Amino acid sequence: MTTRDGAATRIAFFGLGKMGLPMATRLVEAGWSVTGFDPFPAARDAFAAAGGRAVAEPGAAVEGAATLILMLPDGKAVRTLLTQTEGVAGRLASGTLVVDMSSSAPVGTRDLAAELAAEGVTLIDAPVSGGVKRAIDGSLAIMVGGEAEAVARATPLLEVMGGSIFATGPIGSGHAMKALNNYVSAAGLTAACEALRVGRSFGLDPTLMTDILNVSTGRNNSTEVKLKPFVIPQSYTSGFSLALMAKDLRTADDLARHEGVAAPLSGAVSALWAEALAELGTSADHTAIDAFLGRREA
């Protein structure tokens, strides 16, 4: 493997969790010089074990980096790190490219991009879809919003982490698309879980129902990859949290309101998942929406 040398290839990567760790590791394996930061020592240790350089301070991670990649929980965490508590933006060299791969709110992303541009720093948004398995094998779907030149500059990195790269338009459009995608995903999962519960009550076998759905018009991502392994056995261990899905649903609903577009189903789904989060807690898997629906039957 040939190492990519030079300051222009140095990457800082913030957020070495379930998704960020395999994504950053793929960059290391592709020959990029990556310095990773995460507030949790275990995450930093895991990245170091994978061949990356891990540091305990965000400021040290961005030193000499031409690109900063963020894989954080939400836009609030991104803004806090860049402009508030840590003030990392003040330590970025003019011309630095910031790639926010977090699931942030699109309107906030647009505002943040304007603030960073005033400091000579370019922001693009590049959220992902596909989960941990596709982060590991580099087949994520990545939705990229921002100026064409900046998107082109980031593309060689994104292609290491994703199998499908979509340029969605101006800054914030990637985050908008991610939130709307997860709204459709959550609505499909909710409908599938409700259908199984109604069918089971009537005497239908849930596994047979899933097989029929998957060769019929009711087929969706949840019927294909979530019902049999996580919902029917009630393991609820897909690896994506209910809290993150509820957050993305709020983002999608807020976007609809911001745009003045009537989206009654979006509001209903967002409210339902917010109620589930309040009852099941932040540690619950998103497929546990099925368990929440079961409690409502009692």
Distances (CA, A) of 96 to 65, 76, 150, 218: 7, 21, 10, 46
Q: Which two tokens stand for residue 285?
A: 């898997």
CB within 8 Å of 42: residues ≥ 6 apart: none
Cα 185–Cα 232–Cα 223 angle in degrees, nearest 5:
35
Local structure of residue 171 (DSSP, 8 states): T
Q: Which backbone phi and psi does 117 adopt, to 5 degrees?
A: -60, -35
Q: The pTM is what?
A: 0.92
User: Residue range 282-295: average pLDDT?
Assistant: 97
Residue 290 has pLDDT above 60, yes or no: yes
pLDDT tens profile 86-101: 789 999 999 999 999 9
Q: What are the phi and psi torsion angles at 24 (to 5°)?
A: -65, -35
Q: Which is the catalytic residue, given 76, 133, 178, 226?
A: 178
Which pLDDT tens digit goes with each residue over 21-62?
Answer: 999 999 999 999 999 999 999 999 999 999 999 999 999 999
Task: Report whether 269 contacts 210 (CB < 8 A).
Answer: no
Q: How many CA atoms lie within 13 A of 23 on its CB side?
A: 36
Spell out the residues 6+ positions from residue 106 whose beta carbon is closer than 8 angstroms to its own: 125, 145, 172, 173, 175, 176, 179, 251, 255
Q: What is the mean pLDDT of residues 140-165?
A: 97
d(CA 276, CA 196): 18
- 119 secondary structure, DSSP code: T
DSSP 85: S
Q: What is the pLDDT of residue 1?
A: 33
71: left (phi over 0), alpha (psi -120 to 50) or beta: beta
Residue 268 token pair: 């209903």
Structural domains present in the chain: 7-170 (3.40.50.720), 176-297 (1.10.1040.10)
> How many CA atoms lie within 13 Å of 254's alpha carbon, on the beta-carbon side?
14
Token digits for 271?
A: 């409210």
Q: If pLDDT is split at 50, 70 and 90, which confidence band does 17 have?
A: very high
**Binning pLDDT at 50, 70 and 90, where does residue 84 land?**
confident
Average pLDDT over residues 8-29: 94
Per-residue confidence at 6, pLDDT binned at 50, 70, 90? very low
SS3 category, 122: strand
Inter-residue contact 197 to 227 (CB < 8 Å):
no
- Is the CB of residue 147 less than 8 Å from the CB of residue 173? no
247 is catalytic: no
